[in-house]
Structure 1
Amino acid sequence: MSPSTAYGPAPHPGSRPVLVAVAHGSRDPRALPVVRALVARVRAARPGLDVRLGHVELDEPLLADTLAGLRGRTAVLVPLLLTRGHHVKHDLPAALAATPGVRGTVAAPLGPHPLLAWVLHDRLRAAGWAAGRSDGVILAAAGSRDPDSAADTARTAALLAARLGVPVTPAYASAATPTVPEALAALTARGADPARIAVASCFTAPGRFATQTAAAAPDLAAAPLGAHPAMAALVLHRYDQALRSTTASGTALARAS
């Protein structure tokens, strides 16, 4: 199966709940066009499926406003986030619960997943990375105080390392350690050549953290994940996965009170 092919069956779109893609939001003006392009790819990959966009903060439409427009509908919130953390575990369910008249569920974040490792690999290659000229890769992620988030990033790093055939070290822009400079220092102390270490950008779109971690790269830094076809496939996979899980458990999508 091509990595850009949506996983799972696609029942008749007219009977499907709305897919609400939930981005974090950013003050970086480059972020919103990238997120919109990703959502457009999702729509194109599943014609007839109602796909909406909502943001946790900073950008419009805000998630609360998107959900308010779905009164009487059912929805699956798909986080355009890459690990389990506070937003996925608390903010998204809270937003759903605070919206009267909307049934819904929250899908898993996009990572970890082999498709995510595929996109990271592709972005590295586009930046000029080559296995024969690499002593390792630093996987730069946002960071969180939630231990599940760190576990998810570590799993993504392992999946990427299996694809690349070189060590991949997780590093973080905030709330967790090591930072990219600290990870670089540790790799150098073990004999790696800094000029042969690349930074993979584990961020959905451009923003402060992506810029910050790329600036710390000693050599090349890959672009954020963006509107890659496999990212659209992964969004649809998480949507279908959430619906299958609900059906298998014999429960209806929760109704917000």
Structure 2
Amino acid sequence: MTVSELPPRPGPPALVLVAHGSRDPRALSTVRALMDRVRELRPELSVHLGHIELNEPLLPDTLAALGDTPAVLVPLLLGRGYHVKRDIPEMAAAAQAPTRIAGPLGPHPLLVDTLHARLLEAGWRQRPASAVVLAAAGSRDPESRLDTQRTARLLSARLGVPVLPGYASAASPTVADAVHALRARGRRHIAVASCFTAPGRFAAECAAQAPWLASAPLGAHDAMAGLILHRYERARETQPVTAAA
């Protein structure tokens, strides 16, 4: 067999961004902008989007459209929880093609890079007795809370001020309770760092409780796109393949 007769080498697996889904139309546009940024950074990759609920395309439909093309699923979720542990693996197991599932985006220094950048955009500067509440969605899963707490510690180390988690639902403390706890420590300038991928009800409700300033959701920041690609490559190297159904 000559070189020209050799079969073409297979390309890299498709990258499937797995978003939660939202009734807020800004969420879908934000996720699509993030997907476009990933494509700009890695034009040789086939990049797709699938939602767990509420928005189309749903993840099973995206996987069905890929047919027998291998894929790496990267959750646009910021910690471990039910969707990462149950929903996404179950959908992947039903796919025709072999798949790998990357870890959630947080905790990671690139996530902290984005949180820091969004705070700076909102007007953050360290002031006497300043502090931050890291506003997250919340989960009943203790590992999800551990992930948020670790992200808070990383952000605290970056900013040099206390950072407490505050949750929108399903976990405590709430954002309001975290603000109260920081005030009880004598912290007067308290910002809310929005640890949400995209705009939505939870992000808006948490931002409204900021005593000083609130940052925008993470969105299509370059560090987020870089983090997605890092999780993709890491999954290719380390995660077992889910066999085709």
TM-score w.r.t. length of structure 1: 0.90
1:25 and 2:21 aligned:
yes
Return the match for 2:206 from 197, 209, 213.
213
**Which residue of the partner structure matches residue 55 of structure 2?**
59
Unaligned runs of 5+ in 2: 1-8
Q: CA RMSD in A?
A: 1.2
Q: Distance in 2 between matches of 1:155 and 1:188?
A: 22
User: Match of 1:153, SS?
Assistant: helix
Residue type at the aligned position of 1:206:
P
Unaligned runs of 5+ in 1: 1-12
Q: Distance in 2 between matches of 1:130 and 1:65?
A: 45
Q: Percent identity?
A: 62
Alignment of 1:226-245 (within 5 A): 226-245=219-238
1:192 and 2:187 aligned:
yes
1:203 and 2:196 aligned:
yes
User: Match of 1:132, SS?
Assistant: coil
Offset at residue 189 of structure 1 (A): 1.2
Q: Distance in 2 between matches of 1:162 and 1:76?
A: 32
Offset at residue 24 of structure 1 (A): 0.5
Contact 1:84-1:148 at 8 Å conserved across structures: yes
Q: Distance in 2 between matches of 1:144 and 1:254?
A: 26
Structure 1 residues 43, 17: CA separation in 2 closer, same or farther (over 3 Å shift)?
same
Deviations 1:122-175 (A, max 9, x none): 000000000135510000000000001000000100110111010100010000
1:139 and 2:134 aligned:
yes
Q: Distance in 2 between matches of 1:110 and 1:181?
A: 25
Alignment of 1:4-83 (within 5 A): 15-83=11-79
Q: Distance in 2 between matches of 1:102 and 1:209?
A: 35
Q: Distance in 2 between matches of 1:43 and 1:227?
A: 12
Q: Give every structure 1 segment of 4 or more consecutive aligned residues whose post-TM-superposition deviation is greater than 2 Å.
A: none
Contact 2:92-2:242 at 8 Å conserved across structures: no
**Which residue of the partner structure matches residue 172 of structure 2?**
177
Contact 2:18-2:76 at 8 Å conserved across structures: yes
Contact 2:13-2:69 at 8 Å conserved across structures: yes
Contact 2:193-2:215 at 8 Å conserved across structures: yes
Structure 1 residues 192, 41: CA separation in 2 closer, same or farther (over 3 Å shift)?
same
Q: Distance in 2 between matches of 1:135 and 1:245?
A: 40
Q: Distance in 1 between matches of 2:128 and 2:63?
A: 48
Count residues with an aligned counterpart: 237
Q: Distance in 2 between matches of 1:219 and 1:46?
A: 38
1:127 and 2:115 aligned:
no
Offset at residue 256 of structure 1 (A): 2.9
TM-score w.r.t. length of structure 2: 0.94
User: Match of 1:166, SS?
Assistant: coil
Contact 1:171-1:178 at 8 Å conserved across structures: yes
Q: Distance in 2 between matches of 1:159 and 1:42?
A: 25
Larger radius of gyration: 2
Q: Distance in 1 between matches of 2:21 and 2:62?
A: 14
Residue type at the aligned position of 1:43:
R
